[in-house]
Amino acid sequence: MHLLDLRCSECDHAHPADVWQSLCTACHAPLSARYDLEAAGAALRDGAHRRRPKGMWRWRELLPLPAGEEPVTLGEGDTPLLEAPRLAADLGVARLTVKDEALNPTGSFKARGMSAAVTMARHLGATTLCAPSAGNAGGALAAYGARAGIPVVLALPTDVPRSHRLEGEVHGATVHFVEGTIADCGRFLAGKRARDEDGAGAWTDLSTLKEPWRLEGKKTMGLELAEQLGGELPDAILYPTGGGTGLLGLAKAFDEMRTIGLLPADRPLPRLYAIQAAGCAPIVNALVAREDEARVPDAPHTVASGLRVPTPVAHRWILRAVRESGGGGLAIEDGELVEGSDRIARREGIFSAPEGGALVAALARLLASGAIERSEHVLLLSTGTGLKYGECWEPGHPLCPPEEGRR
């Protein structure tokens, strides 16, 4: 393993990687894994990852996998990168591609993060895993916990789609339902932990970016993209941003690949666009206001459960990553999210979750404003399957797209 240590994303304070770490002990910001990129690069330039079976663990030189350890895996990663020519023509952009993360185990990109984090948690002796979740992450943690044989405790908002409840329960997790958002679930779980963990052993908290490993798993989306496109990365990537792990993972992947020479140093990296729901847009509002801290919404609401993250713990880091890439942010109304999913499905056969649907309306607007040029190659990161959000397409649901006018 080429892992060196964990560095604070804000103050660079170093933390050892051989014990379970949460936030920076000096300033409480999220930590980021640092590798010996020279050694990792030598193996990868030699094509080590191309000689291994399909899946994200092909990239193990850039992942946390201690010597002698096997990954906790369900076959995540190596999802398709699909050309979307009909949607591109509709929207008026030269090239549009979609990375379809629905093909991961548990139907979303959360599988990548949980595979990495549960692997490290098991290695470091975890006896119970816990996390608050807006939905997909909880389902993925329940599945990977079951795979590792470690009990899981989840806290989910009461109004998450039914499929998210089912996923947790069917995989044998203890699921608590909490009124409010993922932030309320986090508070609930902190209290529950304090009361319950004595005797049962300490709980290992896998909350978004309160541990460093889920980001490492999600980073593999960026590694794959670079490989799938032969190093010719898109000009812009639109990413549905909740806690921001995937967006930060993409930025970290490109940075590491450039450092080790798997991406050319003289070509610009993609501009990253954080797309959020109008009812919960802490990052976009800060970008618009040119502030360095998220603007917490008053009454966070959206049908895209994964985007209902009012207080992303890595807010400063996300804002920096978006700005450094030259990208931006945009907030989309709920009706447009579902319409967007509908449109990708009808045009390209990809049934994207409303989180991914948001990207269609966002791209139309970014093209209209000139932020993205019509001659560019744009990639939509479709983070999960729409099948888990079936309620939105039931007749009578306020967001169900009307039959007439459906394109």
Per CB under 6 A, residues contacting ligand PLP are: 108, 134-137, 208, 240-246, 306, 353, 355, 383-384
CB of 366 to ligand PLP, least distance (A): 18
The nearer residue to ligand PLP, 151 or 282, going by C-beta atoms, is: 282
Check: CB of residue 240 under 8 Å from CB of residue 304. Answer: yes
CB of 306 to ligand PLP, least distance (A): 2
The nearer residue to ligand PLP, 254 or 262, going by C-beta atoms, is: 254
Identify the sign of the CA torsion 246, 250, 251, 257: positive
CB of 101 to ligand PLP, least distance (A): 8
The nearer residue to ligand PLP, 238 or 353, going by C-beta atoms, is: 353
3 bridge partner residues: 35
Helix (H, G, I), strand (E, B) or coil at 7: strand
User: From CA 31, how far away is CA 33, in angstroms rounded?
Assistant: 7
Longest Cα–Cα distance of the chain, Å, equals 61
DSSP string across 359-396: HHHHHHHHHHHTSS-TTSEEEEEE-BBGGGGGGGGSTT
CB of 100 to ligand PLP, least distance (A): 12
Q: Which residue is nearest to ligand PLP (CB)?
A: 306
User: Which H/E stretch holds residue 155?
Assistant: strand 152-157
The nearer residue to ligand PLP, 260 or 322, going by C-beta atoms, is: 322
Tokens of 180: 């409010």
Check: CB of residue 116 under 8 Å from CB of residue 63. Answer: yes
The nearer residue to ligand PLP, 221 or 269, going by C-beta atoms, is: 221
The nearer residue to ligand PLP, 49 or 99, going by C-beta atoms, is: 99
Of all residues in the chain, what percent are helix, strand and coil, respectively (each to 5)? Answer: 45, 15, 40
User: From CA 181, how far away is CA 309, in angstroms rounded?
Assistant: 7
CB of 236 to ligand PLP, least distance (A): 17
CB of 322 to ligand PLP, least distance (A): 12
